[in-house]
Amino acid sequence: MLTDYHVHLRPDDDDTPPERYFTPANAERYREAAEERGIAELGVAEHIHRFTQSLEVWQHPWWRKWARDDVDDYCAFVREETDLRLGIEADFVAGREGRLASFLEAREWDFVVGSVHFVRDAAVDLEGPEWEHVWGRGDSADRIWQRYFETLAEAARSGLYDVMAHPDLVKVWGNARAWPERDPRRYYEPAVEAMLDVGVAMEVSTAGLRKPVGELYPSRPLLEMAVDAGLPIALSSDAHLPEQLGYRYEAAVATLQQVGVKEICVFERRTRRMEPLG
Ligand SMILES: [Zn+2]
Ligand SMILES: [Zn+2]
């Protein structure tokens, strides 16, 4: 079994209205690309900030910039007009767990992907003049990584999620930013422990291979730590185009086999089961 769940039906660009992308024809393009690549389990997980209802959760300027579409129209489209699993990528927003829980509980997802794109109000991977950025405050890389992984742990412990996405997203910029001086495993540990306590899966994402860092999320040491701890592993590409579905899965599957992963997560109505990898 191969899966791709953390998938977006459109690019993160302006002028990507739902009437153009939330269509049976577009879903079919994704389904065809998945079939070509042997991906049997296909889901979609649109960004929460694309929906107007997300502003009931948080009012960050970057969310206000994007929130235009109706989340219930999206859910109805996926359920009624496609054969895709229904998910959402719901950023963790510290202090807004109750509002996020209300948003998520009001809809019947197959899976909820949790991501940390913000450490408090500061963006991790979104540059822009209108909002604060984690790298813009003069903190050391060690401090930034520590706070990022503490937030990932907090996100996992919220119990809101089925999968923690791109778990070491903080490395996205690669050598364009400083790397921590200390062994990053000290930062990974609390996050892995939180995920284990709650029983949430860790995503292995090939999206990192398309980003400046040029490697899988998570790094090999973080993946090994997760596997040693017995965390369930979910496989996705974070595609924003049909061509990105299953992107470089050969590399991901080879890495997973090297670290001893034999099964990956399959989700349906927020219930997880394990299926053989490959
Ligand atoms: Zn993300
Ligand atoms: Zn995503």
Q: pLDDT for 79-111, tens place per residue?
A: 999 999 999 999 999 999 999 999 999 999 999
| Crossing angle (nearest 10°) for helices 141-157 and 185-198 | 0
Q: Separation of 94 CA from ligand 2 center, angstroms?
A: 19
Q: Separation of 202 CA from ligand 1 center, angstroms?
A: 13
Q: Separation of 265 CA from ligand 2 center, angstroms?
A: 17
Identity of the amino acid at 51: F
Ligand number with the minimum distance to the CA of 45: 2
Q: Is 246 left (phi over 0), alpha (psi -120 to 50) or beta?
A: left
Q: Separation of 115 CA from ligand 1 center, angstroms?
A: 6
Q: What is the pTM of this model?
A: 0.97
**Residues, Cβ < 5 Å to ion ligand 1:** 115
Q: Separation of 215 CA from ligand 1 center, angstroms?
A: 15
DSSP tag of 162: S
Residue 127 has pLDDT above 90, yes or no: no
Average pLDDT value over all residues in the chain:
97
Q: What is the mean pLDDT of residues 149-169?
A: 98
Residue 252: both structure tokens together: 């991901």
**Residues, Cβ < 5 Å to ion ligand 2:** 89, 238
Q: Which residues of 131-158 are buried (b: 16+ CB within 10 A; e: fewer)?
A: bbbbbeeeeebbebbbbbbbbbbbbbbb
Residue 56 has pLDDT above 90, yes or no: yes
